[in-house]
A and B are shown apart, each in its own frame.
Chain A
Amino acid sequence: QKEVEQDPGPLSVPEGAIVSLNCTYSNSAFQYFMWYRQYSRKGPELLMYTYSSGNKEDGRFTAQVDKSSKYISLFIRDSQPSDSATYLCAISGGGADGLTFGKGTHLIIQP
């Protein structure tokens, strides 16, 4: 079983829809959770960072963490064509290591 599971998609939704992106993880030692957006041939851009269960909101984006279920989500409200990108969840155990990434979900917002 991989440490972080993420559906690679593609996920195609109409403009204005609410998008839900999800990851599950297996290691209960993971404590820090991030979501990155990556456009084609660009570096990942940090969207959200959280280290506790619950919700964190930033503009149209909401990150949700459920440590008991080992499940994290990113919601995008009022989706725009410019949101079309690959979304990567990334998790850290807090030790001297890098990030463990999900495979990334390719999101397409149809105008």
Chain B
Amino acid sequence: DTEVTQTPKHLVMGMTNKKSLKCEQHMGHRAMYWYKQKAKKPPELMFVYSYEKLSINESVPSRFSPECPNSSLLNLHLHALQPEDSALYLCASSQVLQGDEQYFGPGTRLTVT
């Protein structure tokens, strides 16, 4: 089973709202990732967690706050977003951090109004 699940599938939020995106995998993977994908563009890396510790933060604004409660779960907390943050947010996982194939979830389509 190579399934990564994400909730919600769709989210509409105002610029003053606080919301969270959730990601879960049960493959025993120890690396998890958040990517942002705009229309007709490839995914862009936001954060990398390895063994529940933040490994990479690709200069993402502080209005995005990741959290890794345990080895199976990854959250992305959203606060005071801008309309330009509207995108498909993808979670991925891999067995280990270095060079392993990454499996993606279906994504959360976020619209900021």
Q: A residues near B, CB below 8 A? A: 31-32, 34, 36, 41-46, 49, 51, 88, 90, 92-99, 101-104
Contact = CB atoms under 8 A, between A and B. Distances in A.
Chain B interface residue bracket vs A: 20 to 34
A38 to B, nearest CB: 9
A93 B99 CA distance: 7
A97 B48 contact: yes
Contact of A49 (B50, B97, B101): B101
Contacts, number: 63
A99 B45 contact: yes
B97 A32 contact: no
Interface of B: 2, 4, 6, 33, 35, 41-43, 45, 48, 50, 55-56, 88, 90, 97-107, 109
A43 B98 contact: no
